[in-house]
């Protein structure tokens, strides 16, 4: 009998939950775009790059900036196909032009499109539908995943509905705008650590977004750390986001933040070794119950340990060679 893979047996014929590189790095100017792409070439596809049309474009020069962004997507410097774009928000006149210019002129489709300042499911659904229609119009074969930025009251209220939208791959939390939207009712200390993890309204928002994502197999992406000198603060922010709030991805706004974020979200070597041993035993047992040491395991724990290996793979960690068949497509397993 052929050895079945985790993807075939652990998810009841449903798609596996999405796994993305753990860091989403933003670049708005041509200089920073080139610098970010060079760093990605050095480190590998352990972080994504988001080329920013929203905050990167000068007022009145949105078209030129979108054309600049399109010139990098799928180009020679986009070595791994892990470059996305952020377009303007639903209320801005340029968002449809951003989509058209990028999908028409990029050498290949972006890895994803970030939709900022989402206010409701209706806004998001219209934008997602327009992107899908545009990619069909331009002959792009595969759908372009959409990421949604949750930073308004309306979006937070509808977080579960937003996470459930077809075509949506990830929800991100926009801390600064969310705090500002409370018009002084939340102090500015909640825009940075440790306040961002302690204020009840901010904690609630982070937890709602993470819970919505995990309920629908999407990726929760944590807000930026504003610290650009002391990387131990960035590492601590990433660790708290991962371990206390259930986030599996985090934004970066400075190149020095990328490594500590990736490290914080990467499984440790001992976690990888344990996951590999348990899953290989499970595969040999045709995914029936097994015992590892003094602990019994079944498909519930197998799903957990499979997520460990998938995260290890996404963060460029070394995985035992004998685990390669676990990642094989069904036709190759």
What's the token pair of residue 203? 């904690």
Residue 186 burial (CB count, 10 A): 18
* 268 in a labelled binding site: no
Please answer whether residues 260 and 238 qualify as being in contact, where contact means their C-beta atoms are separated by less than 8 angstroms.
yes
* 79 in a labelled binding site: no
Question: Long-range contact list for 325-333, CB < 8 A, 24+ apart?
Answer: 325/3, 325/5, 325/283, 326/5, 326/6, 326/279, 326/280, 326/283, 327/5, 328/5, 329/5, 330/5, 330/7, 330/8, 333/2, 333/3, 333/4, 333/5, 333/8
C-alpha distance from residue 93 to each of 62, 88, 133, 222 (Å): 10, 8, 18, 28
* 86 in a labelled binding site: yes
Preceding amide of 194 cis, omega within 30: yes
Phi, psi for residue 119 in degrees, rounded to 5: -110, -20
d(CA 114, CA 148): 6
* Structure-derived torsion over alpha carbons of residues 106, 112, 113, 118, reported in degrees to the nearest 10: 180
Residues belonging to the binding site for Mg(2+) are 151, 177
Residues belonging to the binding site are 86, 151, 177
Residues belonging to the binding site for substrate are 86, 151
């Amino acid at each position: 009998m052929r050895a079945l893979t985790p993807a075939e047996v652990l998810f009841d014929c449903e798609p596996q939950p999405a796994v993305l590189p753990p860091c989403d790095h933003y670049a708005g100017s041509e200089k920073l775009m080139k610098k970010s792409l060079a760093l990605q070439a050095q480190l590998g596809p352990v972080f994504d790059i988001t080329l920013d049309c929203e905050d990167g474009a000068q007022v009145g020069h949105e078209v030129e900036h979108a054309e600049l962004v399109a010139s990098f997507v799928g180009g020679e410097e986009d070595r791994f196909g892990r470059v996305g774009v952020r377009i303007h928000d639903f209320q801005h006149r340029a968002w449809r032009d951003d989509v058209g210019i990028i999908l028409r002129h990029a050498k290949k489709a972006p890895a994803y499109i970030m939709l900022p300042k989402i206010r409701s499911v209706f806004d998001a659904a219209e934008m997602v539908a327009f992107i899908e229609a545009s990619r069909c119009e331009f002959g792009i074969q595969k759908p372009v995943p959409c990421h949604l930025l949750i930073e308004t009251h309306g979006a937070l209220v509808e977080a579960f509905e937003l996470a459930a939208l077809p075509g949506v791959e990830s929800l991100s939390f926009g801390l600064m705008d969310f705090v500002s939207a409370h018009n002084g009712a939340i102090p500015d200390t909640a825009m940075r650590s440790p306040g961002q993890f302690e204020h009840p309204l901010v904690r609630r928002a982070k937890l709602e977004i993470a819970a919505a994502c995990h309920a629908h197999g999407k990726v929760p992406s944590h807000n930026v750390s504003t610290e650009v000198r002391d990387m131990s603060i960035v590492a601590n922010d990433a660790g708290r986001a991962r371990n206390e709030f259930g986030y599996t991805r985090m934004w970066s706004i400075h190149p020095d933040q990328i490594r500590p974020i990736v490290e914080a979200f990467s499984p440790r070597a001992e976690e990888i070794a344990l996951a590999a041993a348990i899953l290989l035993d499970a595969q040999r047992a045709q995914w029936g119950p097994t015992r590892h040491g003094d602990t019994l395991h079944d498909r519930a724990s197998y799903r957990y340990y499979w997520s460990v290996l998938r995260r290890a793979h996404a963060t460029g960690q070394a995985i035992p060679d004998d685990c390669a068949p676990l990642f094989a497509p069904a036709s190759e397993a």
